[in-house]
């Protein structure tokens, strides 16, 4: 079978695909609450007679097609939305497009019987809760034992969903207006820090010398952090924005406890963990200088995404079947983060970008402007890449030391919950 059979199928189903996209866009649900979305995905799978597993990490779905003994591709699609106006929700990160793309490619592979000709298989993962929000709800689910972590992919990794997968393909909408696609983008990683300074309250007029002012410790730390940022190169993408979330004390009382919180973001793993160490040192040394006690709580966020260059060569070849070189942005750096970064730290992964959005991401003015690019061209890039990987073994990339990496990853995540 030629690749054009897949492309022709997608072109032939265009109206249906766009209608599917609109249907999912109109069903925005927050992470781990995507119950209706999950049912809609399963309904489609049932229509095509594809077996699936649902309710994974609350609302995730997984469906494998193909004979299953050769190269195993994982296609990952986010399904969650964000809060919108007046207490509602909106798909303002474009995850409904990812869901639509995955279902479209799955349908194309099934209806053309392409996988019958190969030894490979493809698993489609519809992953909940990519947006790192709504903590009180999620922490409640963790307490009830329904989840272990705050994000969909983190839970699915822990549940072993990706254990037998060889590579991950995914796509995300981008905000570009001038081009069609991006390839090889870097996503930042982040973690959260909460530093508690412990001192002694005292009368601020009569006996300040008997107190130990924690606000002073926090201010000194803020100063140290602003100097610290200068010691990382611009490409590290280090971002630290400390805020004092509790200052303690009053005008007549030396503050006995002050809390400083920040996210630490960086473009690569090394810079992220180096900055973390240095942040802890700033807190510890500044507190010690003023005879204050201190405690730090670290909460893991997402890891920076480092994409597989070799897989991206194949992705780009497929983009070039649909547009010109000038329509593809190469290796952009984004300040955003995603839990696909965690997956990419364990096995070869790509997340290409497609344009066609108007308005701001994560805001209520987000609009899907160019449906052709979002739903049709992007689906062809994904389907074409799968076709190449399964028909040209020299293009396949395999994971290295997956179990070892997964064990280290989970232990780090469990330490910093």
Min dist CB 221 to Zn ion, Å, is 30
Instruction: Assess contact for 316 and 328: CB atoms under 8 A.
Output: yes
Instruction: Assess contact for 358 and 369: CB atoms under 8 A.
Output: yes
What does each C-alpha distance from 305 to 85, 337, 338, 356, 363 come to in angstroms? 31, 8, 8, 23, 24
Select 7 or 126, whichever has its Cβ closest to Zn ion.
126
Pairing label, strands 367-368, 243-246: unpaired
Select 93 or 156, whichever has its Cβ closest to Zn ion.
93
Q: Which stretch binds Zn ion (CB under 5 A): 26-34, 59-67, 88-96, 187-195?
A: 88-96
The count of residues interacting with Zn ion (CB under 5 A) is 1
Q: In this structure, what token pair is assigned to residue 390?
A: 């399964």
Select 93 or 311, whichever has its Cβ closest to Zn ion.
93
Select 77 or 93, whichever has its Cβ closest to Zn ion.
93
What does each C-alpha distance from 389 to 120, 145, 168, 184, 386 come to in angstroms? 9, 39, 12, 18, 5
Residue 195, strand partner residues: 260, 296
90 touches Zn ion (CB under 5 A): no
93 touches Zn ion (CB under 5 A): yes
Contact set for Zn ion, span 296-315 (CB under 5 A): none
Select 93 or 171, whichever has its Cβ closest to Zn ion.
93
Min dist CB 134 to Zn ion, Å, is 13
Q: Which stretch binds Zn ion (CB under 5 A): 29-37, 93-101, 105-113, 260-268?
A: 93-101
CA dist 306 and 74 (Å) reads: 17
Min dist CB 341 to Zn ion, Å, is 12
What does each C-alpha distance from 359 to 83, 149, 212, 292, 293 come to in angstroms? 16, 31, 49, 47, 47
Min dist CB 156 to Zn ion, Å, is 16
Contact set for Zn ion, span 19-58 (CB under 5 A): none
Select 30 or 93, whichever has its Cβ closest to Zn ion.
93
Q: Please, what's the b/e burial string for 135-162 (b: 16 or more CB within 10 A of its CB; e: otherwise)?
A: eeebeebbeeeebbbbbbbbbbbbeebb
Min dist CB 400 to Zn ion, Å, is 27
User: How many C-beta atoms surround the C-beta of residue 208 within 10 A?
Assistant: 12
Residue 291: what are its φ and ψ, rounded to 5°?
55, 45
Select 280 or 370, whichever has its Cβ closest to Zn ion.
370
Min dist CB 94 to Zn ion, Å, is 6
Min dist CB 350 to Zn ion, Å, is 15
Q: Which residue is nearest to Zn ion (CB)?
A: 93
Instruction: Assess contact for 318 and 171: CB atoms under 8 A.
Output: no
Q: Which stretch binds Zn ion (CB under 5 A): 87-95, 116-124, 213-221, 232-240?
A: 87-95
In residues, how long is the chain?
A: 417
Select 100 or 213, whichever has its Cβ closest to Zn ion.
100
Instruction: Assess contact for 173 and 338: CB atoms under 8 A.
Output: no
Q: Which stretch binds Zn ion (CB under 5 A): 7-15, 85-93, 153-161, 232-240?
A: 85-93
Min dist CB 153 to Zn ion, Å, is 12
Q: Which stretch binds Zn ion (CB under 5 A): 86-94, 110-118, 158-166, 272-280?
A: 86-94
Select 40 or 336, whichever has its Cβ closest to Zn ion.
336
Q: Which stretch binds Zn ion (CB under 5 A): 28-36, 90-98, 215-223, 271-279?
A: 90-98
Min dist CB 52 to Zn ion, Å, is 23
User: How many C-beta atoms surround the C-beta of residue 176 within 10 A?
Assistant: 17
Closest to 181 measured CA to CA, from 71, 67, 316: 316
Min dist CB 343 to Zn ion, Å, is 14
CA dist 321 and 380 (Å) reads: 9
CA dist 342 and 409 (Å) reads: 8
Select 57 or 93, whichever has its Cβ closest to Zn ion.
93
Q: ∠ CA 236-241-245 to the nearest 5 degrees?
A: 150
Closest to 262 measured CA to CA, from 236, 296, 237, 230: 296
Select 78 or 327, whichever has its Cβ closest to Zn ion.
78
Q: Which stretch binds Zn ion (CB under 5 A): 89-97, 141-149, 258-266, 285-293?
A: 89-97
Min dist CB 351 to Zn ion, Å, is 10
Q: Which stretch binds Zn ion (CB under 5 A): 92-100, 322-330, 369-377, 378-386?
A: 92-100
Instruction: Assess contact for 127 and 168: CB atoms under 8 A.
Output: no
Interface contacts to Zn ion, rule CB under 5 A = 93
């Amino acid at each position: 079978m030629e690749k054009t059979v897949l492309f022709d199928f997608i072109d032939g189903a265009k109206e249906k695909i766009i209608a599917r996209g609109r249907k999912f866009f109109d069903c925005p649900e927050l992470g781990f609450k995507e119950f209706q979305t999950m049912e809609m995905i399963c309904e489609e799978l049932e229509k095509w007679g594809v077996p699936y597993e649902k309710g994974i990490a609350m609302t995730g779905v997984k469906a494998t097609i193909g004979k299953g003994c050769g190269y195993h591709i994982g296609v990952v699609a986010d399904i969650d939305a964000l809060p919108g106006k007046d207490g509602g929700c909106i798909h303002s990160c474009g995850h409904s497009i990812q869901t639509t793309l995955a279902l479209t490619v799955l349908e194309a592979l099934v209806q053309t019987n392409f996988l019958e000709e190969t030894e490979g298989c493809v698993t489609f993962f519809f992953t909940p809760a990519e947006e790192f929000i709504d903590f009180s709800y999620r922490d409640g689910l963790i307490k009830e034992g329904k989840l272990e972590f705050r994000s969909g992919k983190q839970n699915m990794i822990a549940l072993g969903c990706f254990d037998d997968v060889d590579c991950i393909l995914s796509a995300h909408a981008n905000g570009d207006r001038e081009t069609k696609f991006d390839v090889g983008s870097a996503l930042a990683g982040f973690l959260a820090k909460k530093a508690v300074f412990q001192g002694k309250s005292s009368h601020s007029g009569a006996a300040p010398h008997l107190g130990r002012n924690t606000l002073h410790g926090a201010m000194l730390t803020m100063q140290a952090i602003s100097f610290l940022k200068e010691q990382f190169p611009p490409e590290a993408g280090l971002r630290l924005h400390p805020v004092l979330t509790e200052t303690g004390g009053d005008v007549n009382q030396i503050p006995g406890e002050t809390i400083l919180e920040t996210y630490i973001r960086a473009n690569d793993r090394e810079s992220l963990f180096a900055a973390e160490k240095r942040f802890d040192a700033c807190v510890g040394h500044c507190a010690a200088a003023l005879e204050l006690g201190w405690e730090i709580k670290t909460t893991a966020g997402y890891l920076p995404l480092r994409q597989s260059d070799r897989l991206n060569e194949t992705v780009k070849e497929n983009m070039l079947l649909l547009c010109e070189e000038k329509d593809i942005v190469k290796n952009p750096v984004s300040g955003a983060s995603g839990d696909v970064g965690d997956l990419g730290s364990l096995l070869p992964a790509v997340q290409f970008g497609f344009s066609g959005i108007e308005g701001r991401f994560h805001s209520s003015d987000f609009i899907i402007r160019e449906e052709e690019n979002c739903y049709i061209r992007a689906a062809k890039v994904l389907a074409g890449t799968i076709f190449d990987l399964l028909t040209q073994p020299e293009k396949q990339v395999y994971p290295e030391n997956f179990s070892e990496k997964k064990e280290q990853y989970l232990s780090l995540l469990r330490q910093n919950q």
